[in-house]
Structure 1
Amino acid sequence: MSIDPSSIPSFGLPQPPQGGGQPGGAPAGPPVIVPDQNLVAQLLDQMQLKHVVDEEGDLTAPWENFRVYYMFRGDHKELFAVRAFYDRPFPLEQKPEILALIDEWNRETLWPKVYTHTHDDGIVRLIGESQMIVGSGVNLEYFVGTTANWTQAAVGFEQWMAEQLGDQAKPADGAAAPEDGPADEA
């Protein structure tokens, strides 16, 4: 999946007038907004990504081997997180090898930062996460561009892992996706 930055919408916000929009001819600053779930849904629509609202009220965009959640957390929804849950199960014995791979990813890329989650049954799964504080407002273009980049990076991690693992990349037959949804770790 490739996202063309020029396809990111402006969401109809007025542009600052030419020559500056503040007294003395100083240019107006970029629009600052407090993003919400509706804005993220509009962005996903513009990116032509299928999405639903899950039972916990989070936006979720499903792919074949993973899901990406777009979540607002905190008392005042001041934390925005994009969290990817990858379905590929790994046995506990393989965790050192998987940790070495995701350490390489985490050193070489900005996002998502990927970590393991070991279930009670000993199955290890991967979670990718990116976060930003948005409660006091954020530049609209920055928020939209960053959210699109984080989504693209979540897809990129899945592709990177498939390349690293080769034939091991496919989830085992009959392996179900994890039943637990996004953890409120933030």
Structure 2
Amino acid sequence: MSTDPSSTPNLEGDAQPQQWAGPAGPVIPDQELVKELLDQMELKYVVDDEGDLAAPWTTFRTYFMFRGERDQQIFSVRTFYDRRHSIEDKPRLLETIDDWNRRTLWPKVYSDTHDDGVVRLISENQMIVGTGVSLEHFVASTVSSVRAAIEFEDWLVKRLGLNPEIDFATDEEPGDASA
């Protein structure tokens, strides 16, 4: 997916928790509520083959997923970062994401190494929603999850001195003729 939902969501506008009117008691969030929230944030999204919502950026994709049985259902905001790292870079990468995980409460970030030796990063936030949650809490947590995914990407680029202009279609630096 290469759709860029304007790169930066409207996190300051209508998506603020205090502007969401809802029931006074707990709600059990569902995909329709998430779609409404993403619309309020002015984020483009798609529904993937497994039925999960995904908001694709140029450098990562954020999925909004519900898993588990009704009373124990978990809502997960999981971001898959598209930047490819080599297996040789994995020790430095792990040291860096360990530092992130120590310094921040969330999202927690981990690595995924593919059979071809390519290392990619994934961040994740979860909350149990099956027994009900405050609508304000759900909205605030979801908005914060999106913000944190963006912040992690920016932090990683700065921390590792990466080129933010990498072409993710080819994984080449601009002007790189090595391919």
Same fold (TM over 0.5): yes
1:55 matches 2:49: yes
Decide which structure has greater strand share.
Answer: 1
Distance (Å, rounded) in 2 between the aligned partners of 1:82 and 1:4: 19
Question: Which consecutive residues of structure 1, in runs of 5 or more, have no partner in the other structure?
Answer: 15-29, 177-186
- RMSD over aligned CA atoms reads 2.1
**CA–CA distance in 1 between the matches of 2:21 and 2:168?**
46
Aligned residues of 2:20 and 2:136 also touching (Cα < 8 A): no
The number of residues matched between the two structures is 161
Q: 1:38 matched to which residue of 2? A: 32
Percent identity of equivalent pairs: 52
Cα deviation 1:29-54 (Å, max 9, x = unaligned): x4210000000010000000111111
- The aligned counterpart of 2:88 is 93
Cα distance in 2, alignment partners of residues 39 and 128 from structure 1: 22
Structure 1's 69 and 173: CA in aligned 2 closer, same or farther, altered over 3 A? closer
CA contact under 8 A between 1:5 and 1:145: conserved in structure 2?
no
Equivalence for 1:19: none
Greater C-alpha Rg:
1
Matched, 1:68 2:62: yes
> What are the ranges of 5 or more consecutive residues in structure 2 without an aligned counterpart?
1-7, 173-179
TM-score (norm 1): 0.79
- Residues 1:4 and 2:12 aligned together: yes
Give the structure-2-normalised TM-score.
0.82
CA contact (8 A) 2:53 2:63 kept: yes
Distance 1:106 1:84 in 2: 15
